[in-house]
Amino acid sequence: MNAATPRMVDCVVLKQRAPGLDRLMYPGELGQRIWKQVSKEGWQRWVAHQTMLINEYRLVPIEPKARKFLEAEMEKFFFGTGASKIDNYVAPPK
């Protein structure tokens, strides 16, 4: 594969083949699964959802309890039943 050809994955978020991530975005076994099964667009959707969770729950990402919560939500978002929804959440206008 040359530099002009993106690495393709069968994205678990988009449910279709799409360009994969350029690098590992998370450590460990979960990071490896994400690398193999999540596209760039799928990752961006997680980042937006994670930002919403951090803001709505007023999380401090460096705190171990918040990190554990976010990792569990990431696992659900990509490979489980879907991540938590916030009641009455309205996304900001783009």
What does the pLDDT read at residue 35? 97
**89 assigned to some structural domain:** no
Between helices 64-79 and 40-56, what is the axis angle to 10°? 140
**16 assigned to some structural domain:** yes
pTM reported for the whole predicted model = 0.83
| Residue (of 10, 19, 27, 11) closest to 77 by Cα position | 11
Q: Are 41 and 10 in contact (CB under 8 A)?
A: no
**31 assigned to some structural domain:** yes
Residue 38, burial from CB neighbour count under 10 angstroms (0-12, 13-18, 19+) = buried
**55 assigned to some structural domain:** yes
What does the pLDDT read at residue 5? 83
- Domain count along the chain: 1
Domain range for 43 is 8-79
| Three-state SS at 38 | coil
**34 assigned to some structural domain:** yes
Residue 42 has pLDDT above 80, yes or no: yes
pLDDT confidence bin for 58, thresholds 50/70/90: very high
**14 assigned to some structural domain:** yes
Give the model confidence (pLDDT) of 65-87 as tens digits: 999 999 999 999 999 876 666 66
**84 assigned to some structural domain:** no
CATH number of the domain encompassing residue 66 = 1.10.3880.10
